Chain A
């Protein structure tokens, strides 16, 4: 207990806060009914203090297992976790970590305000309950019993619970699953406001747009490994930054693929879609070779295409936001 207190003082003194979060050579297997699953196969990730990082990947990529090790809920078979210079468990005990796990509900027979107050009382220097409710935009729910909340409302209360301890590191495991568009927007407004206080946020998501819009950086995982790690803009640049769409009947795809700056081409009826590594060169080459091309559009590819190109695994690709909403 004493050692935890002294470590916390060390964290607050400022020099340790530069340390951030370090995952070193993490490895984890567990047994299931289908045999041994090697969920995480040697992961190295460094997250600077104050950064917002998205962990992206399909189901079974090892995101949740990585997060459990980051939170001290699971011990790695090999490798180390360091959270602002502390072990995962010590960081949790020191009250510098808050988290929203993938699944979870609320205890009953209490109001929203009471549950948040109860959790706040466990932390050494929490936010005020009003501040947490306001950040999570659930001030209006405060007097309601937790039994009567909708799924989306429950998620927002869980967000308030994750924030109320005023943690330095906030970990969110697929936090917006089950939320409607409006709820999702409100949720990320909350997280942006929290990040603006200099907090470090790590979130796992299926939704590429969320990583694109809200993270400084994306770590892409597949089959227990990190397949890409960088600023979201950089990851997009790694694989065909832009797409050109044009109405061009009769053009041969092979010839289009040979154009400068073009890495891929496909046909949709009369239209062709070109994936480009350099869209500026590609558009000049296109209109030079095919002066009759019309209705030309150039768009950013988004992380989804980047993900597909990097993992080469269409089957297990994460769903896009529109697709998920339609489902």
Chain B
């Protein structure tokens, strides 16, 4: 199993699309957006400095891309019949999904750490405990995205999975406040019910603020449960013996 996961990771990191969208893209955008505003200490009344806000925003974006992308690659494997090939090996199908989730999290962590490094370059300084608390909250917040990836990986075909995943994640990232803080108006009313919004809100923990609050945890739990139930359903349909 460890060997299997190791090669899953190896081939993910070799994949060009992963490098561009999950690692390169957020990093470049971070310097482009936060760089010119590095002296902004209260970005649009968010109470956070621009370098800190965008660090978490783009880390969340990269991590969403990485976690969703890992599951979404199931679509390509289904297209070439690789999942059927694996079903005639001793690998059980739960471990197959398990390996995808482990890969999702490892790649997400790499994406997050890269943005943290970029953040310190632009002057973000946090206490060790705050770094950890924020990271923990982000990792919990990625659960619905890992399930979303598995869901898309079973519903989309090999040629539609790219747009389906990229589009969904981009919209969720935008409405979640990845590109600018959303603090009022209609967008805010929508955003408060999205997992991506609360993912970005993890940034408040880093300056000693409270994390998600009851609403945040409820929204996260609801999305996680709903997407896990849906993902489990499509996955069971797919592996069912007919």
Contacts and interface: CB of A to CB of B under 8 A. Distances in A.
B81 A121 contact: no
Nearest to B239: A73
Residues of B contacting A: mostly: helix
Interface in B1-32: 1-4, 7, 10-12, 14-15
B88 A122 contact: no
Interface string A113-136: 011011101111000000000000
Interface centre among A30, A71, A108, A123 (most CB of B within 10 A): A108
A200 to B, nearest CB: 15
B88 A117 contact: no
Given A93-B90, A93-B92, A95-B90, A118 B7 contact: yes
Interface stretch (A9-17, A97-105, A216-224, A310-318): A97-105
Contacts of A149: none
Interface residue range, chain A: 35 or more
A253 to B, nearest CB: 51
Contacts of A92: 87-90
A30 B87 CA distance: 21
B242 interface: yes
21 contacts: A72-B88, A73-B241, A74-B241, A75-B241, A92-B90, A94-B90, A95-B89, A95-B90, A101-B81, A107-B76, A107-B77, A108-B76, A109-B10, A110-B7, A114-B10, A117-B7, A118-B4, A121-B1, A121-B4, A122-B4, A123-B89
A68 to B, nearest CB: 9
Contact of B242 (A75, A110, A117): A75
Interface of A: 30, 71-75, 89, 92-95, 97-99, 101, 103-110, 114-115, 117-119, 121-124, 158, 161, 165
Nearest to A95: B90
Nearest to B12: A109
Interface of B: 1-4, 7, 10-12, 14-15, 76-77, 80-82, 84-92, 241-242
A193 to B, nearest CB: 22
A106 B77 CA distance: 8
A105 B7 contact: no
Given A74-B241, A104-B80, 13 more contacts: A92-B88, A104-B81, A104-B85, A105-B81, A105-B82, A114-B7, A117-B3, A118-B3, A121-B4, A122-B86, A123-B90, A124-B90, A161-B85
A165 B89 contact: yes
B11 to A, nearest CB: 4
A95 to B, nearest CB: 4
Contacts of B88: 71-73, 92, 97-99, 101
A66 to B, nearest CB: 14
A122 B80 contact: no
A110 B152 CA distance: 23
A213 to B, nearest CB: 26
Contacts of A74: 241-242
A129 B139 CA distance: 37
A105 B4 contact: no
Contacts of B77: 107
A160 to B, nearest CB: 12
A110 B10 contact: yes
A202 to B, nearest CB: 13
Nearest to A98: B88
A102 B87 CA distance: 14
A98 B87 CA distance: 11
Nearest to B77: A107
B7 A106 contact: no
B156 to A, nearest CB: 17
Given A106-B82, A108-B11, A122 B241 contact: no
Contacts of A89: 241
Contact of A110 (B1, B11, B89, B92): B11
Interface centre among A89, A121, A161 (most CB of B within 10 A): A121
A90 to B, nearest CB: 10
A189 B87 CA distance: 27
Task: Pick the 8 closest A-B CB pairs, nearest first.
Answer: A105-B80, A121-B3, A104-B81, A109-B11, A118-B7, A109-B14, A95-B90, A122-B89
B89 A101 contact: no
A122 B91 contact: yes
Interface centre among B4, B85, B89, B92 (most CB of A within 10 A): B89
B6 to A, nearest CB: 8
A94 B90 CA distance: 6
B84 A107 contact: no
A75 B14 CA distance: 38
